[in-house]
A and B are shown apart, each in its own frame.
Chain A
């Protein structure tokens, strides 16, 4: 398979680590070579978190050249738009959660908040496909990552990787009640 690059972004505390690991393991279960890396700096303190996954042939570094991600996943609207500008290649796909965690300057009243409309406009300009995922009804926000994973599985966004592969990945990573709860959300978005 041709090299396929995924750029995942959000805010520390949103569960990007688990999402990235589930994707990486899902790709591995499909028999495709993959490498990933997280950049978190001081992310646990509400900063930006970026994770990258690269799979297929002729991949070396886990880091991705700018504007060459086939898929950008945004856990939060500001970070989704930032990720679109930094990473997405022309004609790529952006999947994002309609969730906003206001950055400091917005809360101080010095910058405007980004919304889904800004993202739709940006995607049109960039010739990118945008998929908005709604999680308003979700009880535990710490499982919003499962909504993205489910959407990816349903729409078969990563070539060669099936829902069964992601199912197996979740079985690898979680057990007991955590697995049950995460699976329920993931399954709802995947079907």
Chain B
């Protein structure tokens, strides 16, 4: 098999097993997408990883990680106004950050066309909520395609690009976590000749200033564009009916991965309702839905998260005075979680017990398996930071978390970080908590990538409104949580920026210097007003991976001198590196599979029983 980068760049048609996220990149290349922007976030970072497998000088398009999703959207939009087909992609909650710009896109005559790929996360696998962004698409009057598999992710991106170019508009490709990460064999087409970059911006193509009455005229145009999208959806047959010989008159309307769950469940049923699978979920293609409603009764609308399709389909049935019974969400729980085959099985076996009965029962386990929450990695600088910072904090102090690997500090044994909203929110929340508060000191945490992404406004607010908080910037030099992507810190040192903002108290040290960090935080907490501590250490996961690739690398480890060890358990219980093993006899050992020999744990031992080996296994 060729390397991924070569495969994606191939001129001829080919067939290969790829992830949904990777298949999207081939579609970008085939459609002549010229500018691609992103801010890293699950479930879409593998799109960027696949792009980066193509050497920069061979990439047929410009790619950047922008400082946040809003800027990514704006850069892609600007490039499209120059006549280039562009694409921005990000995680579900990234749309909240991008929203101010995103809602305007539908109003604009985007001459190059623009595709926005957004990965929703039903089940909140790696997000702070499972928001249904379909709510936003209706408001923004954008066309949305929803694939169910890697094959469709590839095909629907191409449809999205074609429509975006044809209508000079924006089209959203709505992915969900398990479509992004699914792998299957996909047939790819040939690649046409490369298209040159364009710089054709002309205000005559506008209007591009949506102010006063102009905003209403532009809205009228956006409504017309949606009508034309509906026509395209019909022409291309993006919504499909799967007919069964034995349907008992029933029908199901569904979309995306939920449709595949339905198909799996129906493999076990006594009869099979017909299915209308919507590949385009905004605007809805009224004709095909009406004809399905007229030929089936009852019709069940099966959609995960919110009741977006259901309410529109019920309204359609009402307007056309149809007698068909349309069903959808029936309990609060129907609004929660991913519509996995299990969830769909529960729903269908409850609603139509004559059609299907639930399958196998669980194996009863003889013991309870302890949960396994995510942990900071062995050697993580954040662990040293939390261990040191905890010594500087009083029980009454309030700690405010932010998004990033350091969010994991909220768990035992550190319990640092008691409130979390979203990217960059810590300084603002901390400022509010500090008002009229002379009893509790307030400490906010912020990662370095997040500092640039959305952390700056909260910090600047704290400066000019004179809030009394201590901000600890957890600087590991990368966007670690999503897989070590680049960020603005490469060009802009945080400390210099803080000085430029006029912050008087800026203290900084490496987190492995634990006692120094404890002192710096103590000093900082005594200062009235805003004070900042920068707690630095490079991401050790990234660092270790690089070290291992060097020739002659020998892995060292920590050792425990069992004669010296008093089984105080500070290493395993308070420092909490996953490398420590607690034996049933209360002795402590090292998991050599995990230990990276960094030694950051050594200060945690009161009797100095932790040492180094010379590098065995």
Contact = CB atoms under 8 A, between A and B. Distances in A.
Given A34-B184, A46-B578, A67-B363, A62 B372 contact: no
Nearest to B484: A44
B342 interface: yes
A106 B377 contact: no
Given A35-B182, A107-B572, A107-B576, A42 B374 contact: yes
Given A104-B412, A125-B363, A139-B617, A61 B373 contact: no
A39 B396 CA distance: 38
A12, A60, A90, A121 — which one has the most chain B CB atoms within 10 A of its CB? A60
Interface in B479-517: 481, 483
Interface string A114-139: 10001001100110100000000001
B203 interface: no
B372 A61 contact: no
Interface stretch (A77-85, A153-161, A180-188): A77-85
Contact of A78 (B342, B369, B581): B369
Contacts of B367: 81, 112, 114, 118, 122
Contacts of A3: 267
Contact of A141 (B149, B264, B340, B593): B593
Nearest to B583: A113
B15 to A, nearest CB: 10
Contacts of B269: none
A70 B361 CA distance: 14
A113 B341 CA distance: 32
B615 to A, nearest CB: 13
Interface string B359-380: 1111111111111111111000
A65 B261 CA distance: 9
B377 A38 contact: no
B420 interface: no
A68 B359 CA distance: 9
B362 A85 contact: yes
Nearest to A36: B183
A67 to B, nearest CB: 4
Nearest to A49: B372
Given A36-B182, A58-B267, A63 B340 contact: yes
B276 interface: no
Contact of B365 (A84, A104, A171): A84
B299 interface: no
Contacts of B257: 61, 63
A139 B616 CA distance: 9
B243 interface: no
B541 A28 contact: no
Q: Is the interface of B mostly helix, strand, loop or mixed?
A: loop
Given A61-B263, A104-B375, A109-B573, A45 B363 contact: no
Nearest to A80: B369
B364 A28 contact: no
B594 interface: yes
Nearest to A37: B182
Nearest to B150: A35
Contact of B185 (A28, A42, A61, A102): A28
B405 interface: yes
A37, A66, A141 — which one has the most chain B CB atoms within 10 A of its CB? A37
Contacts of A85: 362-365, 369
A105 B578 CA distance: 11
A109 B264 CA distance: 42
Given A25-B17, A107-B582, A47 B183 contact: no
Interface in A62-108: 62-68, 78-79, 81-82, 84-86, 88-90, 99-108
Contact of B366 (A47, A79, A121, A171): A121
A11, A13, A21, A45 — which one has the most chain B CB atoms within 10 A of its CB? A45
B342 A118 contact: no
Contact of B341 (A25, A39, A45, A64): A64
Given A28-B17, A67-B361, A68-B360, A62 B366 contact: no
A113 B585 CA distance: 12
Interface in B319-358: 340-342, 345
A61 to B, nearest CB: 4
A48 interface: yes
Given A21-B183, A28-B185, A62 B374 contact: no
B194 interface: no
Nearest to B373: A104
A82 B411 contact: no
A94 to B, nearest CB: 10
A30 interface: no
Interface string B562-588: 000000010011001010111010000
Interface in A15-38: 21, 24-25, 28, 33-38
Given A65-B342, A67-B360, A45 B178 contact: no
Contacts of B405: 45
Contacts of B581: 100, 102, 107
Nearest to B127: A41
Interface string B450-490: 00000000000000000000000000000001010000000
A61 B183 contact: no
B126 interface: yes
Given A44-B541, A107-B572, A107-B580, A78 B370 contact: yes
B149, B345, B367, B573 — which one has the most chain A CB atoms within 10 A of its CB? B367
A122 B365 contact: yes
Nearest to B185: A28
A189 B90 CA distance: 42
Interface string B586-616: 0000011110000000000000000000000
A37 B184 CA distance: 9
Contacts of A106: 370, 582
Interface of A: 3, 11-13, 21, 24-25, 28, 33-48, 58-68, 78-79, 81-82, 84-86, 88-90, 99-109, 111-114, 118, 121-122, 125-126, 128, 139, 141, 171-173
- A-B residue pairs, 6 tightest by C-beta: A126-B363, A61-B260, A42-B374, A47-B374, A141-B593, A46-B375
Given A101-B578, A125-B366, A139-B617, 17 more contacts: A35-B182, A40-B181, A44-B377, A46-B372, A46-B374, A47-B374, A65-B265, A67-B360, A85-B363, A90-B363, A99-B593, A100-B581, A101-B594, A102-B581, A106-B370, A111-B368, A118-B366
27 contacts: A3-B267, A35-B149, A36-B182, A39-B178, A44-B483, A45-B374, A45-B377, A46-B375, A46-B376, A47-B372, A60-B260, A60-B261, A60-B267, A61-B264, A63-B340, A63-B341, A65-B342, A68-B359, A81-B369, A103-B370, A104-B373, A106-B370, A111-B368, A111-B370, A114-B369, A125-B363, A125-B364
